[in-house]
Amino acid sequence: MSVSRLPAIGLCLFVLSGCATIPAPLQGDYATSRPENAPATAQKVRWGGQIIRVDNDPQRSCFEVLARPLDSRARPLQRDSSEGRFLACRAGFYDPAVFEAGRNITVAGTVEGSELRKVGDYEYRYPRIAADVIYLWSEQTYARDPWVYGRDPFWYRPFGPPVIVVRSHR
């Protein structure tokens, strides 16, 4: 490898390292435990998942969350499995219209015990976190394969509607 390529490689690595950065409020050292095998109390954790419900009372808001594994940025992954459920409570009001069911959040805080609640007719023990951070992720949009949805990628129309391609499969 020539010496002239080293700065270019270093620049590429620097740029790529910025792509997988954990947001500042979520950075820190946390236990590697998961909600399904809830740790003892007073352990600092960073868990995330999909909001199931938000309950507000006069002093705090509590989030019921379907836990998901986190990616390298601490964002919950979209999977067809879960790591259990947990409750995350924080002082203040969090509007259920913004923190609506189905949105992804990551929570950092300390496990403060558990709470028994029903999921349908099943008694479920939720680990409860005293949250220091409730991080709401922006909604993701996914790119679609243009051939699957009938758009011709080779037809350029910058100001018009997409061209619909009709194909017969005989």
**Residue 136, both tokens:** 């709401």
Q: With helix as H, strand as E and coil as C, how does 86-138 read?
A: EEEEEECCCCCCCCCCCCEEEEEEEEEEEEEEEECCEEEEEEEEEEEEEEECC
pTM, two decimals, is: 0.71
CATH label of the domain that carries residue 131: 2.40.50.140
Structural domains of the chain, count: 1
**What is the residue range of 132's domain?**
20-136
Helix (H) or strand (E) holding 82: none
Instruction: Answer whether residue 161 is part of any domain.
Output: no
170 residues of the chain, pLDDT tens digit each? 555 655 655 555 555 555 568 999 999 999 888 888 876 678 999 999 999 999 999 999 999 999 999 999 999 998 888 899 999 999 999 999 999 999 999 999 999 999 999 999 999 999 999 999 999 999 875 555 444 445 555 555 566 555 555 555 54
